[in-house]
Amino acid sequence: MNAPYIPINCSYYDELEAFATLRQEVSIVYRTQGGEEQAEIRGVIQTFEIRDKVEYLKLRSGQAIRLDWLITVEGKTLPLAC
């Protein structure tokens, strides 16, 4: 079951792009598929992609994370949408 996608704050997206440009390893805390649990991972943001009108960040490892499921990246909390 997929929850409706909620676009993230534009300034926060810019920060994610900066991490990707710098190829800097970051700590990411995000909600899991069910939305009730969270996971933490370290990785390098490789790129961003849109699938079925949902935005994802893709890590160098190949893992993709929905942008609206992010909780924190490098300790900075995801703000409300634009």
pTM of the full predicted structure? 0.89
**Does residue 2 have a pLDDT over 80?**
no
User: What CATH fold (topology level) applies to the domain 10-77?
Assistant: SH3 type barrels. (2.30.30)
Taking only the tens place, the pLDDT of each residue in 45-77 is 999 999 999 999 999 999 999 999 999 999 999
Domain boundaries, the chain: 10-77
Q: What percent of the chain stands above pLDDT 90?
A: 83
The 8 Å CB, 24+ separation contacts for 63-70 are 65/28, 65/30, 66/5, 66/30, 67/7, 67/8, 67/13, 67/16, 68/5, 68/6, 68/7, 68/8, 69/30, 69/31, 69/32, 69/35, 70/8, 70/28, 70/29, 70/30
